[in-house]
Amino acid sequence: MDINVKQVRKNAFRVTKTRGITASRIRIPGGHLDADLLPVIQRIAQEYGDGSIHLTVRQGVEIPGIRYEDMPQVNQLLQPLIDRMGINQEEPGTGYSSAGTRNISACIGNRVCPYGCYDTTAFAQRIEKAIFPHDLHFKIALTGCPNDCAKVRLHDFGIIGMTLPQYEKDRCVDCRACVKACAKKSVDALRTVNYKVERNHEKCIGCGECVINCPTRAWTRSQEQYYRLVLFGRTGKRNPRLAVDFIKWVDEESILKIIKNTYAYVQAHIDPNAPGGKEHIGYIVDRTGVQEYLKWALQDVNLPDCAEVSSPLYWSGLHY
Protein backbone atom coordinates (compact mmCIF):
# COMPACT_ATOMS: atom_id res chain seq x y z
CA MET A 1 0.00 0.00 0.00
CA ASP A 2 1.46 3.34 -1.03
CA ILE A 3 -0.18 6.33 0.67
CA ASN A 4 1.06 9.91 1.03
CA VAL A 5 0.12 10.31 4.67
CA LYS A 6 0.95 14.00 4.62
CA GLN A 7 -1.71 14.50 1.97
CA VAL A 8 -4.06 12.21 3.88
CA ARG A 9 -3.70 14.31 6.98
CA LYS A 10 -4.04 17.59 5.09
CA ASN A 11 -7.23 16.20 3.58
CA ALA A 12 -8.68 15.77 7.11
CA PHE A 13 -8.25 12.03 7.27
CA ARG A 14 -6.44 10.43 10.17
CA VAL A 15 -3.61 7.94 9.99
CA THR A 16 -4.97 5.43 12.44
CA LYS A 17 -3.36 2.63 14.38
CA THR A 18 -4.93 0.07 12.07
CA ARG A 19 -2.94 -0.43 8.89
CA GLY A 20 -5.00 0.39 5.82
CA ILE A 21 -7.73 2.09 7.75
CA THR A 22 -8.34 5.83 8.06
CA ALA A 23 -10.98 8.04 9.61
CA SER A 24 -12.75 11.06 8.15
CA ARG A 25 -12.91 14.21 10.24
CA ILE A 26 -15.87 16.44 9.62
CA ARG A 27 -15.72 20.11 10.55
CA ILE A 28 -18.78 21.62 12.19
CA PRO A 29 -17.83 25.23 12.92
CA GLY A 30 -19.69 26.47 15.96
CA GLY A 31 -20.95 22.98 16.67
CA HIS A 32 -24.38 23.59 15.18
CA LEU A 33 -25.62 21.40 12.38
CA ASP A 34 -28.83 21.19 10.37
CA ALA A 35 -30.40 17.88 11.30
CA ASP A 36 -31.09 16.98 7.67
CA LEU A 37 -27.32 16.57 7.18
CA LEU A 38 -27.14 13.71 9.64
CA PRO A 39 -28.11 11.10 7.00
CA VAL A 40 -25.03 12.18 5.01
CA ILE A 41 -22.82 11.31 7.94
CA GLN A 42 -24.81 8.16 8.57
CA ARG A 43 -24.38 7.03 4.96
CA ILE A 44 -20.61 7.53 4.99
CA ALA A 45 -20.34 5.63 8.26
CA GLN A 46 -22.48 2.77 7.04
CA GLU A 47 -21.21 2.49 3.46
CA TYR A 48 -17.52 3.25 3.98
CA GLY A 49 -16.87 3.21 7.72
CA ASP A 50 -17.55 0.68 10.44
CA GLY A 51 -21.05 1.94 11.04
CA SER A 52 -20.12 4.10 14.02
CA ILE A 53 -19.28 7.77 14.49
CA HIS A 54 -17.30 9.57 17.14
CA LEU A 55 -18.26 13.01 18.46
CA THR A 56 -14.92 14.77 18.75
CA VAL A 57 -13.85 16.98 21.61
CA ARG A 58 -13.83 19.93 19.19
CA GLN A 59 -17.45 19.34 18.18
CA GLY A 60 -16.63 17.65 14.89
CA VAL A 61 -17.61 14.18 13.83
CA GLU A 62 -15.05 11.49 13.12
CA ILE A 63 -16.05 8.50 11.03
CA PRO A 64 -13.71 5.60 11.72
CA GLY A 65 -13.12 2.38 9.83
CA ILE A 66 -12.72 3.85 6.35
CA ARG A 67 -10.35 2.21 3.88
CA TYR A 68 -7.76 4.59 2.40
CA GLU A 69 -8.86 3.68 -1.11
CA ASP A 70 -12.37 4.89 -0.35
CA MET A 71 -11.24 8.42 0.47
CA PRO A 72 -12.29 9.86 -2.95
CA GLN A 73 -15.82 8.45 -2.59
CA VAL A 74 -16.02 9.72 0.96
CA ASN A 75 -14.88 13.15 -0.18
CA GLN A 76 -17.63 13.14 -2.80
CA LEU A 77 -20.20 12.29 -0.14
CA LEU A 78 -18.86 15.01 2.19
CA GLN A 79 -19.71 17.73 -0.32
CA PRO A 80 -23.20 18.63 1.01
CA LEU A 81 -21.73 19.04 4.50
CA ILE A 82 -18.98 21.28 3.18
CA ASP A 83 -21.40 23.30 1.07
CA ARG A 84 -24.06 23.79 3.69
CA MET A 85 -21.61 24.80 6.39
CA GLY A 86 -19.91 27.16 4.00
CA ILE A 87 -16.47 25.63 4.41
CA ASN A 88 -13.96 27.20 2.06
CA GLN A 89 -12.67 24.59 -0.34
CA GLU A 90 -10.12 24.50 -3.16
CA GLU A 91 -12.05 22.15 -5.42
CA PRO A 92 -15.52 20.68 -4.97
CA GLY A 93 -15.65 16.95 -4.38
CA THR A 94 -12.15 16.80 -2.95
CA GLY A 95 -13.06 16.99 0.71
CA TYR A 96 -11.42 19.36 3.14
CA SER A 97 -8.50 21.36 1.80
CA SER A 98 -6.69 21.50 5.10
CA ALA A 99 -6.75 20.18 8.64
CA GLY A 100 -4.12 22.11 10.61
CA THR A 101 -6.47 24.82 11.77
CA ARG A 102 -8.91 22.90 13.87
CA ASN A 103 -12.66 23.03 13.94
CA ILE A 104 -13.81 26.18 15.68
CA SER A 105 -15.84 25.10 18.64
CA ALA A 106 -18.48 27.00 20.51
CA CYS A 107 -20.98 26.59 23.29
CA ILE A 108 -24.62 26.72 22.26
CA GLY A 109 -24.68 30.49 22.73
CA ASN A 110 -27.62 32.81 22.61
CA ARG A 111 -29.56 30.79 20.07
CA VAL A 112 -30.66 28.73 23.05
CA CYS A 113 -28.89 29.62 26.30
CA PRO A 114 -30.33 32.48 28.40
CA TYR A 115 -26.84 33.47 29.53
CA GLY A 116 -25.41 33.64 26.03
CA CYS A 117 -24.41 37.16 25.08
CA TYR A 118 -24.13 36.49 21.34
CA ASP A 119 -24.60 33.96 18.57
CA THR A 120 -21.50 31.87 19.14
CA THR A 121 -22.12 29.64 16.12
CA ALA A 122 -22.51 32.56 13.73
CA PHE A 123 -19.27 34.13 14.95
CA ALA A 124 -17.52 30.76 14.74
CA GLN A 125 -18.68 30.40 11.17
CA ARG A 126 -17.46 33.88 10.39
CA ILE A 127 -14.02 33.08 11.76
CA GLU A 128 -13.99 29.78 9.86
CA LYS A 129 -14.76 31.66 6.67
CA ALA A 130 -11.92 34.09 7.35
CA ILE A 131 -9.15 31.62 8.17
CA PHE A 132 -9.88 28.21 6.70
CA PRO A 133 -8.30 26.33 5.02
CA HIS A 134 -4.95 26.67 6.71
CA ASP A 135 -2.30 24.18 7.66
CA LEU A 136 -1.19 25.98 10.80
CA HIS A 137 -2.21 24.41 14.02
CA PHE A 138 -4.66 26.94 15.51
CA LYS A 139 -7.27 26.17 18.09
CA ILE A 140 -10.06 28.65 18.50
CA ALA A 141 -13.10 28.39 20.74
CA LEU A 142 -16.01 30.64 21.56
CA THR A 143 -18.17 30.81 24.61
CA GLY A 144 -21.32 32.85 25.06
CA CYS A 145 -20.63 34.32 28.44
CA PRO A 146 -18.06 34.38 31.23
CA ASN A 147 -19.36 31.07 32.58
CA ASP A 148 -17.06 29.71 29.87
CA CYS A 149 -18.84 26.41 29.39
CA ALA A 150 -16.79 25.98 26.22
CA LYS A 151 -13.59 26.13 28.32
CA VAL A 152 -12.05 28.56 25.90
CA ARG A 153 -9.11 29.20 28.17
CA LEU A 154 -7.63 25.93 26.96
CA HIS A 155 -7.37 27.33 23.43
CA ASP A 156 -5.02 29.53 21.46
CA PHE A 157 -7.80 32.01 21.07
CA GLY A 158 -10.61 32.04 23.58
CA ILE A 159 -13.52 34.34 22.84
CA ILE A 160 -15.81 35.09 25.76
CA GLY A 161 -19.06 36.94 25.19
CA MET A 162 -19.77 40.10 27.16
CA THR A 163 -22.53 42.63 27.30
CA LEU A 164 -21.97 46.16 28.49
CA PRO A 165 -24.84 46.64 30.95
CA GLN A 166 -26.97 49.70 30.29
CA TYR A 167 -28.64 51.19 33.35
CA GLU A 168 -31.75 53.30 33.19
CA LYS A 169 -31.98 54.54 36.74
CA ASP A 170 -35.52 55.81 36.38
CA ARG A 171 -36.69 52.22 35.94
CA CYS A 172 -34.80 50.97 38.99
CA VAL A 173 -36.92 50.19 42.03
CA ASP A 174 -34.10 49.17 44.37
CA CYS A 175 -35.17 45.52 44.55
CA ARG A 176 -31.47 44.63 44.73
CA ALA A 177 -31.86 41.51 42.60
CA CYS A 178 -28.93 42.62 40.44
CA VAL A 179 -26.72 43.47 43.39
CA LYS A 180 -27.39 40.11 45.01
CA ALA A 181 -26.92 38.15 41.78
CA CYS A 182 -23.68 39.95 40.98
CA ALA A 183 -22.36 39.30 44.47
CA LYS A 184 -23.37 35.67 44.61
CA LYS A 185 -23.00 34.53 41.01
CA SER A 186 -20.48 36.92 39.55
CA VAL A 187 -17.81 39.37 40.65
CA ASP A 188 -19.62 41.67 43.11
CA ALA A 189 -19.29 44.71 40.89
CA LEU A 190 -22.53 46.40 41.92
CA ARG A 191 -23.22 48.67 44.86
CA THR A 192 -26.36 50.44 46.00
CA VAL A 193 -25.80 54.15 46.45
CA ASN A 194 -28.77 56.36 47.28
CA TYR A 195 -31.12 53.49 46.38
CA LYS A 196 -29.69 53.28 42.87
CA VAL A 197 -27.03 50.96 41.55
CA GLU A 198 -23.46 51.85 40.74
CA ARG A 199 -21.47 49.50 38.55
CA ASN A 200 -17.74 49.16 39.02
CA HIS A 201 -16.71 49.09 35.39
CA GLU A 202 -13.21 47.97 36.19
CA LYS A 203 -14.54 44.90 38.01
CA CYS A 204 -17.46 44.16 35.70
CA ILE A 205 -16.96 41.12 33.48
CA GLY A 206 -20.02 41.79 31.32
CA CYS A 207 -21.74 38.52 32.19
CA GLY A 208 -25.22 40.03 32.08
CA GLU A 209 -26.41 38.67 35.45
CA CYS A 210 -27.70 42.14 36.31
CA VAL A 211 -29.74 42.24 33.11
CA ILE A 212 -31.01 38.70 33.58
CA ASN A 213 -32.10 39.36 37.15
CA CYS A 214 -33.60 42.81 36.64
CA PRO A 215 -37.40 42.64 36.89
CA THR A 216 -38.10 46.09 35.42
CA ARG A 217 -35.68 46.46 32.49
CA ALA A 218 -33.66 49.05 34.35
CA TRP A 219 -30.72 46.94 33.20
CA THR A 220 -30.56 46.09 29.52
CA ARG A 221 -27.86 44.84 27.18
CA SER A 222 -25.74 47.06 25.02
CA GLN A 223 -26.66 47.09 21.35
CA GLU A 224 -22.96 46.43 20.67
CA GLN A 225 -21.55 42.97 21.31
CA TYR A 226 -18.35 42.86 23.25
CA TYR A 227 -15.90 40.10 24.00
CA ARG A 228 -13.01 39.21 26.18
CA LEU A 229 -10.21 37.76 24.07
CA VAL A 230 -7.90 35.40 25.90
CA LEU A 231 -4.69 34.02 24.48
CA PHE A 232 -2.65 30.88 24.26
CA GLY A 233 -4.10 28.45 26.67
CA ARG A 234 -3.17 24.87 26.00
CA THR A 235 -3.10 21.43 27.40
CA GLY A 236 -0.50 18.96 26.28
CA LYS A 237 2.90 17.74 27.30
CA ARG A 238 5.36 20.38 28.31
CA ASN A 239 3.57 23.36 29.86
CA PRO A 240 -0.20 23.10 30.18
CA ARG A 241 -1.65 26.49 31.07
CA LEU A 242 -4.75 28.61 30.93
CA ALA A 243 -5.10 31.39 28.41
CA VAL A 244 -4.57 34.87 29.82
CA ASP A 245 -6.68 37.98 29.30
CA PHE A 246 -5.57 39.97 26.30
CA ILE A 247 -8.33 42.44 25.50
CA LYS A 248 -11.51 43.14 27.45
CA TRP A 249 -14.45 44.84 25.70
CA VAL A 250 -13.06 44.03 22.27
CA ASP A 251 -15.23 43.85 19.15
CA GLU A 252 -15.70 41.18 16.51
CA GLU A 253 -13.72 42.92 13.75
CA SER A 254 -10.68 43.36 15.95
CA ILE A 255 -10.75 39.70 16.97
CA LEU A 256 -10.85 38.59 13.34
CA LYS A 257 -7.96 40.86 12.46
CA ILE A 258 -5.88 39.74 15.43
CA ILE A 259 -6.38 36.08 14.52
CA LYS A 260 -5.37 36.72 10.93
CA ASN A 261 -2.36 38.72 12.07
CA THR A 262 -1.38 35.81 14.24
CA TYR A 263 -1.26 33.53 11.18
CA ALA A 264 1.22 35.92 9.62
CA TYR A 265 3.23 36.02 12.83
CA VAL A 266 3.37 32.23 13.07
CA GLN A 267 4.36 31.86 9.44
CA ALA A 268 7.21 34.28 10.04
CA HIS A 269 8.38 32.72 13.29
CA ILE A 270 7.55 29.02 13.29
CA ASP A 271 10.49 26.69 13.75
CA PRO A 272 11.18 25.45 10.21
CA ASN A 273 12.31 22.16 11.70
CA ALA A 274 9.25 21.65 13.86
CA PRO A 275 8.24 17.97 13.78
CA GLY A 276 5.42 17.58 11.28
CA GLY A 277 5.51 21.33 10.69
CA LYS A 278 3.59 21.68 13.91
CA GLU A 279 4.65 24.12 16.60
CA HIS A 280 2.16 25.40 19.10
CA ILE A 281 1.70 29.18 18.90
CA GLY A 282 2.23 29.59 22.60
CA TYR A 283 5.69 28.03 22.42
CA ILE A 284 6.56 30.32 19.52
CA VAL A 285 5.52 33.32 21.60
CA ASP A 286 7.56 31.96 24.50
CA ARG A 287 10.52 31.89 22.14
CA THR A 288 10.08 35.28 20.43
CA GLY A 289 8.82 37.16 23.48
CA VAL A 290 5.40 38.68 23.87
CA GLN A 291 6.42 42.10 22.56
CA GLU A 292 7.29 40.66 19.18
CA TYR A 293 3.94 38.88 19.10
CA LEU A 294 1.97 42.00 20.05
CA LYS A 295 3.69 43.97 17.33
CA TRP A 296 2.27 41.56 14.79
CA ALA A 297 -1.06 40.90 16.47
CA LEU A 298 -2.17 44.51 16.82
CA GLN A 299 -1.05 45.64 13.40
CA ASP A 300 -3.84 47.68 11.75
CA VAL A 301 -6.27 46.72 14.48
CA ASN A 302 -8.69 49.52 15.35
CA LEU A 303 -9.83 48.69 18.82
CA PRO A 304 -13.04 50.27 20.10
CA ASP A 305 -12.48 53.14 22.53
CA CYS A 306 -13.73 51.07 25.44
CA ALA A 307 -11.31 48.19 24.80
CA GLU A 308 -8.88 47.47 27.61
CA VAL A 309 -5.62 45.79 26.61
CA SER A 310 -3.88 43.86 29.36
CA SER A 311 -0.21 44.40 29.85
CA PRO A 312 2.10 42.67 30.48
CA LEU A 313 0.86 39.26 29.46
CA TYR A 314 2.10 36.53 31.70
CA TRP A 315 1.35 32.84 31.55
CA SER A 316 1.94 30.40 34.30
CA GLY A 317 0.68 26.84 34.38
CA LEU A 318 2.52 23.62 34.95
CA HIS A 319 6.05 23.03 33.76
CA TYR A 320 7.17 19.44 33.25
Nearest in space to 101 (alpha carbons), one of 149, 51, 151, 140? 140
Q: Any contact of residue 290 with other proteins (CB under 8 A)?
A: no
CA–CA gap between residue 291 and residue 98 (Å, rounded): 30
Ranges within 164-183 binding other proteins (CB under 8 A): 169-175, 177
Q: Verify binding: residue 140, other proteins, rule CB under 8 A.
A: no
Instruction: Compose the 81-120 pattern: x for residues touching other proteins by CB under 8 A, - for all others.
Output: -----------------------------x---x-xxxx-
* Stretch 217-246 residues interacting with other proteins (CB under 8 A): 217-218, 220-221, 223
CB 139 within 8 A of CB 155: yes
Nearer to other proteins, 223 or 316 (CB): 223
Minimum distance, C-beta of residue 16 to other proteins, in the bound complex (Å) = 42
Smallest separation (angstroms) from other proteins to the CB of 117: 5
Shortest separation between residue 85's beta carbon and other proteins, angstroms: 22
Instruction: Please give the residue ranges that form the binding site for other proteins (CB under 8 A).
Output: 110, 114, 116-119, 163, 169-175, 177, 193-195, 208, 211-218, 220-221, 223
